[in-house]
Each structure stands twice: as C-alpha cells, then as structure tokens.
Amino acid sequence: MSALQSSSVAGLIVAALLTVSGCGKPPAEDPSLIKSVESMPGAKEVWAAVDKKDYEGVMTALGKVREKVTTEEQNTQYMILAYKVRERLTETAPNDPKAMEVVALLRGLTTGR
C-alpha cells in the first residue's frame, strides 16, 4: 500500500470517528430496517470486501457509504451496517490480526469513542 493510500484510508477513518456517535448496539432489529440497511448504496461493496477479507476495502467502502448519509434515518442505517460488519469480523478476529485491527476501529465507530 502506498503512502497516499494509507493516508487516504486513515483520513476516512478519522473523519468517520469524529462525525459518528452511537450507543454501540443497533436499535431493535426490525426486519424492514435491516432490509433497508442492506439496500443502502454501497452496502454490497462493504459486504464484498468483508467476504474477500479486504479489510482496507471494508473501511474504504464504509467511508463511501458514510459520505452519502444525509438524514438521521440514514445515519441509523449506517450505524447498523457498521455494527453488523464489526459483528462478522469479530468472528474471524481471534485468528486474523488485520481483522482485529478493523474490529477495534469499528468499535470506535459504533460506540462513538
């Protein structure tokens, strides 16, 4: 990864951490809300990166989704998406140090700390 890519990813992460706050857990898992989360523009790219274990791609894709958030409802959907991604990566984190790093970043995103 080049220095420019590293600084871009780091910038996205810092921006996301500074602009997002939440309680750490998604709201009640209403099936219609979960469906709307999965249909957010960019959500498929996030999950594709998760499936490929492309952790840099996960953070980049989440940053792109975050850029498109303009309403409180979209912010809630984004937070649920980030929480679900964190949940999935937590399963692989004990055996994958890079996944563990992303889980730590997502924990900051989803808890607002």
Q: Is residue 25 part of a domain?
A: no
Residue 89 lies in a domain: yes
Q: Is residue 26 part of a domain?
A: no
- The answer to whether position 64 is within a domain reads yes
Reported as a single tens digit per residue, the pLDDT across 37-95 is 888 899 999 999 999 999 999 999 999 999 999 999 999 899 999 989 999 999 988 88
Instruction: Look at the chain and report how many structural domains it folds into.
Output: 1
Contact between residue 9 and residue 54 where contact means Cβ atoms under 8 Å apart = no
Instruction: Evaluate whether residue 9 is within a structural domain.
Output: yes
**Are 46 and 81 in contact, with CB atoms under 8 Å apart?**
yes
Query: Does 61 fall in a domain?
Result: yes
Supply the range of the domain harboring residue 72.
3-20+33-111
Q: Is residue 103 part of a domain?
A: yes
- Does any domain span residue 28? no
What span, in angstroms and rounded, lies between the C-alpha atoms of 45 and 24?
23
Task: Give burial (CB, 10 Å; 0-12/13-18/19+) of 14.
Answer: exposed
How far CA 87 is from CA of 7, 70, 83, 106, in Å, comes to 26, 25, 6, 9
pLDDT, tens only, 93-113: 888 888 888 888 888 766 665
